[in-house]
Amino acid sequence: MNSIDPRVMKELLQLQILNKMSLLSGDTSTSGSDDSGDFGALLEAIMGQAASSGSNDTTLSSTLGQTTGNIPSALIALNKSYTPLQSVSKESASTQYDNLIEAASKRFGVDSSLVKAVIQQESHFNHRAVSSAGAKGLMQLMDGTGRGFGVTNPFDPQQNVNAGTHFLSNLLKKYEGNEGVALAAYNAGPNRVDRLGIRNDQDLADRIHLLPRETQAYVKKVLGHKISFST
């Protein structure tokens, strides 16, 4: 029986959520076709690629591109690298903060690609970044949040990444691993997310329009960055 990389399955599910979020937020750059049909087509195409060692990648990319654009090509490569029941390493974009990120990720149990995605969106890896609201550093921590995690200098990369990853870890635990919801809470605050009754990524897809447009865009962009850093 042919296998599909569980990482690919997870990313496909997130793509389905991203598509719903785009439609609900009025993003006309995303196809308006049926989500369940798109998901089924993606899964069938990737499974077909796994079943045939001689399948044509160009043809497959074209088929997948009809539903989700360029992102699936990364998923094809990811799935081709999959070996069931064996350890498969991830290749991530290299940054000067890789060691800090990897250490914090292991310490707090957060995927390093997600941490990098948050940093990319928050500060573009500028440890001196300050937002108009006063958020500081790589992971754009507000002073109160930073102090709660023992930060004395928000511009110190190690302190900032440790605190931001710890905060993100707490949110992932609170929302039972639903990354989209954790990201929405990271951006808009957990109280706001809780008031809307959003507990999982399906709730998020259904109620994304109730969150600020900034948060809607934030979740979509970070999940997109995560896919890039994961492949």
| 8 Å CB contact between 114 and 226 | yes
What would the two tokens of residue 141 be? Answer: 């921590």
- How far apart (Å, rounded) are the C-alpha atoms in residues 62 and 128? 42
Closest CA to 215 of 187, 186, 189: 187
122 is catalytic: yes
Closest CA to 121 of 23, 215, 15: 215
- How far apart (Å, rounded) are the C-alpha atoms in residues 193 and 185? 6
Q: Which residue type sits at 108?
A: F
| 8 Å CB contact between 225 and 124 | no
- How far apart (Å, rounded) are the C-alpha atoms in residues 16 and 209? 16
**Active-site residue, from 122, 176, 179, 214:** 122
Measured in whole angstroms, the distance separating CA 137 from the mean position of its chain's CA atoms is 20
- How far apart (Å, rounded) are the C-alpha atoms in residues 71 and 116? 18
Mention every residue, 6+ apart, whose C-beta is less than 8 A from residue 198.
181, 184, 204, 207
Q: Which residue type sits at 59?
A: T
Compute the residue count for the chain: 231
Residues with a catalytic annotation lie at: 122
